[in-house]
Amino acid sequence: MNVNYEQKNKLLLLEITEEIDHHTSEKIRRRADNEITRYMPRKVIFDFSNVTFMDSAGIGVVLGRYKMIKMLGGTLELKNVSLNLKKIFEMSGITKICPTTIKQAI
Amino acid sequence: MNVNYEQKNKLLLLEITEEIDHHTSEKIRRRADNEITRYMPRKVIFDFSNVTFMDSAGIGVVLGRYKMIKMLGGTLELKNVSLNLKKIFEMSGITKICPTTIKQAI
Amino acid sequence: MKSIYENEMKLEFISKSNNEAFARISVAAFAAQLDPTVEEISDIKTSVSEAVTNSIIHGYEDTEGIVKIICKIIGNSIIIEISDTGKGIENIEEAKKPLYTSKPNLERSGMGFTIMESFMDEMKIESILGIGTKVTMKKLIKKEEITDEDISKVLSQIGQKESNEN
Amino acid sequence: MKSIYENEMKLEFISKSNNEAFARISVAAFAAQLDPTVEEISDIKTSVSEAVTNSIIHGYEDTEGIVKIICKIIGNSIIIEISDTGKGIENIEEAKKPLYTSKPNLERSGMGFTIMESFMDEMKIESILGIGTKVTMKKLIKKEEITDEDISKVLSQIGQKESNEN
Ligand SMILES: Nc1ncnc2c1ncn2[C@@H]1O[C@H](COP(=O)(O)OP(=O)(O)O)[C@@H](O)[C@H]1O
Ligand SMILES: Nc1ncnc2c1ncn2[C@@H]1O[C@H](COP(=O)(O)OP(=O)(O)O)[C@@H](O)[C@H]1O
């Protein structure tokens, strides 16, 4: 995961660089929670441009972070989501609660 | 396989676009033989730039074409060979009888 | 068009979470002979990942067991059977409901079966408490003609990142 | 560094030549947990392809049989066992010689065993005429530290073309 924090806008950018499944999700979750509690950002963006695979473990990761961030008074956005990932986020209703942008074809 | 024939130089360029193993080699061999007997080229170049896998079936394909082309009075060159393929061509002695150029890193 | 392929494979592995990626890639590589689209391959990988994960975390919980996958190619369809000899499911109807999960503490979403059902053409669950669970899924690959070059292209996409990091 | 992985898988499939690609990709995906380099993965794929092809064309000739692969991770090594219940090898010493092939008519080069021996760290052939053949290979993956991101990168390279065609 690549982490970038913009102090000015209190914006935390978390770029996921792994496939997201049950095996990898525990680590992604732990790392994200550490960064969020460290910076207390106003807005968190998950960038999925380098995520080539995700199953329902990704739903748990996003929903869990969503609840935490909301509790801390912030918002969560999902960026560069591929069409395969979008299908899964839509099925779980996540796209209704988090602004989601699609990855452009290269 | 992409085929290109230059009439002026009697040069036949055969660009292999498949992984080369026992399963695919039969088709590659048949196609190459057809093109060679059709054009009777002075020089044949096999281009390997799009070959991401090759096992010893590739040795058979190249040696078989080498013999045929030589019989017809032509020469055979190997182009854009990756390092993994080069190891296999070297072990079989092919690099000693066919001029071989290595693929540039991108 | 009638497919020329009739094929079968069996895969068994230890219920370790680091086998999840290996399992879905293997099934995808087997399915490649039907020349699926990128989206069809992605649907298959996701569904396999769901069922394999379920065997590991729900079937065997923290114990070690064997997950078994059988794949068959019949005509233009792939049939995938994923089974474990773990604890089994008490109420299959409840388990299939969207959002139902017995492990909310692990941040499971309860969407596994819903995804399998929607990504595959057919899905069937068989389970006996204390004996184990078997999930059977079928997907029809809608293709006109298959060439070895098409298949090489699909194989090259399996497990590949959509954008390169180097 | 001591690897944390101890793992095992078994794969069985019909002796059809279109399973050659699937078999080597599966083994490569299993080996990925040791975080091999691109070259190490390529060596493993090539060696698996040689042994699987041998079972299909020499072991079973034109008949249909089952090819079996067992892979084990022990420490930083992968052990790969590929076996068939085909016709067997009469003279193993002769079969191992570079350029020896019993099927020159199929343009076989006789380099299969030589490649396996040179690409892997150990190779052993066991064979009984009329009973079958088992090839066991071992490769030590020389790695310092393994992260999930490294493994994702390796998984993304498996079955991937080195240059894009689009
Ligand atoms: N192989 C299995 N063995 C035992 N129970 C299972 C198995 N697969 C699924 N289940 C049960 O079905 C429920 C729903 O599964 P699923 O829809 O995949 O959601 P999730 O995995 O997120 O809980 C699980 O929470 C579990 O109780
Ligand atoms: N699984 C097998 N069953 C029976 N014979 C085999 C098997 N593997 C190899 N052989 C024999 O060993 C010879 C040498 O094998 P190899 O070095 O791979 O070369 P090639 O496959 O090009 O012939 C083969 O030609 C064949 O006679």
**pLDDT for the residue D77:** 96
Is C164 labeled as catalytic in the residue annotation?
Answer: no
Task: Name every chain D residue with its beta carbon within 8 A of the beta carbon of B19.
Answer: 21
Tens-digit pLDDT profile for residues D124-159: 999 999 999 999 999 999 866 666 677 777 777 775
> D7-165 has which CATH code?
3.30.565.10
**pLDDT for the residue D64:** 94
Tokens for D34?
């040791």
Q: Do chains A and D touch (3 or more CB pairs under 8 A)?
A: yes
Task: Name every chain C residue with its beta carbon within 8 A of the beta carbon of B82.
Answer: none
Helices (H) and strands (E) in chain D, counts: 5, 5
Does residue D148 sit at the A interface (CB-CB below 8 Å)? yes
Q: In a 3-state reduction of DSSP, which class is residue B94?
A: helix
DSSP conformational letter for D104: G
Residues C7, D18: C-beta atoms closer than 8 Å: yes
**pLDDT for the residue C158:** 74
Choice between C94 and D1, residue whose per-residue pLDDT is larger: C94
**pLDDT for the residue B42:** 97
Q: Which domain holds residue A26?
A: 2-102
Q: In a 3-state reduction of DSSP, which class is residue C64?
A: coil
Does residue D17 sit at the C interface (CB-CB below 8 Å)? no
The ligand with the least distance to the CA atom of D60 is 2
Q: Strand C132-140's sheet: what is its strand order?
A: C122-128, C132-140, C77-84, C66-74, C6-14, D6-14, D66-74, D77-84, D132-140, D122-128
**pLDDT for the residue C144:** 63
Residues C155, B18: C-beta atoms closer than 8 Å: no
D58 alpha carbon – ligand 2 mean position (Å): 6
**pLDDT for the residue A106:** 57
Token pair 């080369």: residue: B20
Task: Name every chain D residue with its beta carbon within 8 A of the beta carbon of B67.
Answer: none
For residue B65, pLDDT over 80 is answered with yes
Residue A70 pLDDT grade (very low, low, confident, very high; cuts 50, 70, 90): very high
B35 and B14 Cβ atoms separated by less than 8 Å: yes
For residue D33, pLDDT over 80 is answered with yes
**pLDDT for the residue D12:** 98
Residue of A80, A71, A60, A3 lying closest to A34 (CA atoms): A3
Q: Which of C148, C149, C156 sits opposite B52 (nearest CB)?
A: C156
**Gap between the Cα atoms of A19 and D148, Å rounded:** 9
**Gap between the Cα atoms of B43 and D163, Å rounded:** 26
**Gap between the Cα atoms of B20 and A104, Å rounded:** 33
Tens-digit pLDDT profile for residues C46-73: 999 999 999 999 999 979 999 999 999 9
Give the β-pairing of A100-102 and B2-6: unpaired
Catalytic position from the list C19, C108, C117, C126? C108
Choice between C156 and A32, residue whose per-residue pLDDT is larger: A32
Residues B23, C148: C-beta atoms closer than 8 Å: yes
3-state SS string over chain A?
Answer: CEEEEECCCCEEEEECCCCECHHHHHHHHHHHHHHHHHHCCCEEEEECCCCCCECCHHHHHHHHHHHHHHHCCCEEEEEEECHHHHHHHHHCCHHHHCCEEECCCC
**Gap between the Cα atoms of B44 and B69, Å rounded:** 8
Q: In a 3-state reduction of DSSP, which class is residue C124?
A: strand
For residue C42, pLDDT over 50 is answered with yes
Residue C155 pLDDT grade (very low, low, confident, very high; cuts 50, 70, 90): confident
Q: Which of C9, C12, C33 sits opposite D9 (nearest CB)?
A: C12
Q: Which of B18, B53, B54, B82 has the most C C-beta neighbours within 10 Å, making it the best mutation to test the interface with C?
A: B18
For residue B104, pLDDT over 90 is answered with no
Tell me the catalytic residues of D. Answer: 50, 54, 108
**pLDDT for the residue D163:** 35
**Gap between the Cα atoms of D115 and D111, Å rounded:** 6
Q: In a 3-state reduction of DSSP, which class is residue C146?
A: coil
For residue D57, pLDDT over 50 is answered with yes
**pLDDT for the residue C150:** 73
Average pLDDT over residues A88-98: 95
Compute the nearest-CA separation of B27 from chain C (Å): 9
Compute the nearest-CA separation of D17 from chain B (Å): 5
Q: Which of B29, B53, B82 sits opposite D45 (nearest CB)?
A: B53
Encoded amino acid at B105, one letter:
A
For residue C85, pLDDT over 90 is answered with yes
For residue C107, pLDDT over 80 is answered with yes
Tell me which residues of chain B have a C-beta less than 8 Å from any C-beta of chain D.
Answer: 17, 19, 21-23, 25, 29, 49-50, 52-57, 59-61, 63-64, 82-84, 87-88, 91-92, 103, 106
For residue A42, pLDDT over 50 is answered with yes
A56 and A87 Cβ atoms separated by less than 8 Å: no
Residue of B11, A55, A87 lying closest to C57 (CA atoms): A55
CATH number at residue A82: 3.30.750.24
Q: What is the pTM of this model?
A: 0.91
* Contacts (Cβ under 8 Å, ≥6 apart) of B97: B66
Break chain C into its structural domains and give their ranges: 7-165
Total domain count for chain B? 1
Does residue D158 sit at the A interface (CB-CB below 8 Å)? no
Does residue C7 sit at the B interface (CB-CB below 8 Å)? no
Q: Do chains D and C touch (3 or more CB pairs under 8 A)?
A: yes
**pLDDT for the residue D161:** 41
Q: Whose CA is nearest to atom 20 of ligand 2?
A: D110
Compute the nearest-CA separation of D138 from chain A (Å): 26
* Mean pLDDT computed over every residue of chain C: 89
**pLDDT for the residue C3:** 41
Question: What value, to the nearest 5°, has the Cα angle with vertex C130 and ends C125 and C131?
Answer: 60
C33 and C141 Cβ atoms separated by less than 8 Å: no
**Gap between the Cα atoms of A56 and C113, Å rounded:** 10
Residues A29, C107: C-beta atoms closer than 8 Å: yes
**pLDDT for the residue A76:** 98
Tens-digit pLDDT profile for residues B22-62: 999 999 999 999 999 999 999 999 999 999 999 999 999 99
